[in-house]
Amino acid sequence: MKTMLGAAVLLLAGAPALAQESEESDPRKAEVVRKLSSMKISMDFVDRPMEEVLSFLRDFSGLNIVVDAEVSQSLGEDQLKVTMRVKELTLKSVLKLMLSSKNLTATYKEGVILIVPKGKVDKAVVLQIYDVRDLLVKIPDFVGPKVELVSPTAGAGGPLAGAQFTLDEPKSTITEDFITDMVKANTGDRTWDENPNASITLANGMLIVSQSGRVHDEIKRLINLLRQFK
């Protein structure tokens, strides 16, 4: 059961989305997300500076796309060259393809799409608590009670004149260890081991996680998938 469930969740979880801050009431962010997901673009660049490609995306989409200073500090000029030929691909997919190979990511901040080294986003953690008690509810298998005939006096050799009924303890299809293992295996890439600020604990049905906003988005999607396959 666990193996099948884990495989199904792994297949449906898919690649992580662009790194984003926690959900908040920000109409500018909603517009940015809408454009990233709906606008499609075709382009053909061969060994061109990344800033030139980003300028093309800015003009096409009207989005504010800014490159963090640490990008040029961590990558050389040749490493920031872009070769990409795509047709009718969403802006979100274009950015993910272009940035992932350079260990960069995009995050939203105050109306701006900020291009940063992936590690910079992942090391800044926030604490969130997820109520997963519904996933841990013990479900009886309804196989019926076990019945054992016993004599009236323990150890006596007389005729059997009684019965002892034993009900099996209901079993949970998802355990605490299973949830934490699934979260660490399917979210956050290597940040669980490389980020000293990241942590995960499950106690009394509450999953307590310190992670980046990007990883929290992945965890939310994973928990929803676990609920679908419970």
CB atoms within 10 A of CB 168: 12
65-67 and 112-117 strand pairing: parallel
Report the DSSP beta bridge partners of residue 66: 114
Helix H or strand E segment including 146: strand 146-150
State both tokens at 97: 């393809």
pLDDT digits (tens, 9 = 90+) for 156-197: 555 545 555 555 555 556 788 888 999 999 998 888 888 888
pLDDT digits (tens, 9 = 90+) for 135-153: 887 655 555 555 555 555 5
Q: 16-119 with 126-137+172-229: one CATH topology?
A: no
Q: How would residue 13 be classed by pLDDT, with cut points 50, 70 and 90?
A: very low
Structural contact between residues 45 and 53, judged by C-beta atoms closer than 8 angstroms: yes
* Residues 145, 146, 147, 150, CA torsion sign: negative
Q: Show me where the domains of the chain are located.
A: 16-119, 126-137+172-229, 142-169
Given a cut of 50, whether residue 17 has pLDDT beyond it is: no
pLDDT digits (tens, 9 = 90+) for 202-222: 988 899 999 888 899 999 999
Q: Please name the residue ranges forming H helices in the chain.
A: 2-13, 27-38, 50-61, 69-74, 91-100, 118-123, 176-186, 191-194, 213-229
- pLDDT score for 216: 92
Given a cut of 70, whether residue 154 has pLDDT beyond it is: no
As a whole number, mean pLDDT of residues 11-21 equals 44
Domain 126-137+172-229: top CATH class: alpha beta
pTM above 0.85, yes or no: no
Q: Which fold has domain 16-119?
A: Phage tail protein beta-alpha-beta fold (3.55.50)
Residue in the structure block whose two tokens are 């307590």: 208
Which string of DSSP letters, residue by residue, matches 29-95?
Answer: HHHHHHHHHH-EEEEEEEEEEHHHHHHHHHHHH---EEE-HHHHHHS-TGGGEEEEEEEEEEHHHHH
pLDDT digits (tens, 9 = 90+) for 38-48: 999 999 999 99
Structural contact between residues 190 and 184, judged by C-beta atoms closer than 8 angstroms: no
pLDDT digits (tens, 9 = 90+) for 100-147: 888 898 888 888 898 988 777 767 788 899 999 888 876 555 555 555
